[in-house]
Structure 1
Amino acid sequence: MTAPGTAPGTGLGTGPGPAYVAETYAGDVGTAVLLGGTLTNSPRLALRWLTGRARRMARALAPDPCAATWCPPGALRPTGHRHARDAPARLLAWAESVQEHEEVLRHLVTGRAYRFVAQDDDGCWYGLRARPGTPPARFPPEAAALCRDLACRSPAG
């Protein structure tokens, strides 16, 4: 049973104000996966969660060879170049962009959803989404189409 004022399945109170959902997705041409999400009472908390997830995905996709204590020494080596279509670099750039963060907040406080997609040359993509509202009770069947739409609307590299 869900307590009044609590979002179903989260234990988080939605309170008297609006709720905000932040989600991360990943996929390729034929697959889309919801990586995770959170429900907050504040657009700033939704942004903070997305920023942390963007950094976490970037570190997982392109670990720093000097800081990766989880693998044997010498197993990772710097490639010496990064390019605009590199998803980890784009995720980190987004996480550090004050302008993008202001855009997220503008969208949320005016009741609009915000999307960002970082895509690699090989067709893999990683999406960040924030929107006002509450999460669905389960992963909706139309989510794969939404994720493909996210990839199709990715910014040009």
Structure 2
Amino acid sequence: MSPETEPAVYWCEAVAEGPVYSTGRIVTYVLGSWQTFSPVLALRWLRGEARRIADRLDPDPACSGWVTEAMRRPVVPVPDCPAELRVWAADMDDQRAARERIKAGEPLVVVVPDADCRYTLSIRPLRLPAPLRPAPLGGGGGRRRRRLRTWWHRPR
């Protein structure tokens, strides 16, 4: 990929969307946002947000200090939002594919539904506009240029 087509910055966002009870409205909450120049750092931030959201919804029993051994019984796994967020954050094959995707300039969107809400993690590669080139000096048709005076300029 050439430097002209490579994204300049990556905008990362973690969003929750769900109903406001007894109003019938759906509201979007931005849980976090971040901007970086690196696709690696963008994915690292997004993985951290996925783990942070998962731990706030349901602490990981494998890492939690308050879970006793009696509580760690084998159970039939049921997909739930925190577990899906943890699985996505831990899958290195998915992360490699995601990095290649965003480096190619394509957005990455991970949507994980919950019982009454959905969480969206996204990375959008953005290209900055090319800088404007200043007009060439001189050739002003014989007119003299006036010097711009500002409040910090002292007249001589």
Does the TM-score normalized on the shorter chain lie above 0.5?
yes
How far does the alpha carbon of each residue in 1:95-147 deviate from its partner, in whole angstroms, 9 at most, with x for none? 01112212221221111110001112x2311111001128xxxxxxxxxxxxx
| Amino acid in the other structure paired with 1:125 | R
When residues 99 and 68 of structure 1 are mapped into structure 2, their CA distance, relative to the original with a 3 A threshold, is closer
Q: Look at both structures and tell me which one has the larger radius of gyration over its CA atoms.
A: 2
Count of residue correspondences: 112
Deviation at 1:35, TM superposition (A): 0.8
Aligned counterpart, 2:8: 18
Aligned-residue sequence identity (percent) comes to 33
**Separation in 1, partners of 2:61, 2:90:** 21
When residues 55 and 66 of structure 1 are mapped into structure 2, their CA distance, relative to the original with a 3 A threshold, is closer
Matched, 1:58 2:48: no
**Separation in 1, partners of 2:117, 2:76:** 19
Matched, 1:89 2:83: yes
State whether residues 104 and 130 of structure 1, in contact with CA within 8 Å, keep that contact through their aligned partners in structure 2: no
Q: Please, which runs of 5 or more residues in structure 2 have no aligned partner?
A: 1-6, 20-25, 128-156
| Amino acid in the other structure paired with 1:32 | T
Aligned counterpart, 2:27: 31
**Separation in 2, partners of 1:105, 1:65:** 29
How far does the alpha carbon of each residue in 1:48-70 deviate from its partner, in whole angstroms, 9 at most, with x for none? 0001111111111111468656x
**Separation in 1, partners of 2:62, 2:102:** 38
**Separation in 2, partners of 1:100, 1:50:** 13
Aligned counterpart, 2:151: none
Aligned counterpart, 1:128: 121
Q: From 111, 121, 141, give the equivalent of 1:117.
A: 111
CA RMSD for the aligned pairs? 2.5
TM-score, length basis structure 1: 0.61
Q: Please, which runs of 5 or more residues in structure 1 have no aligned partner?
A: 1-16, 135-157
> Which one has the bigger strand percentage?
2
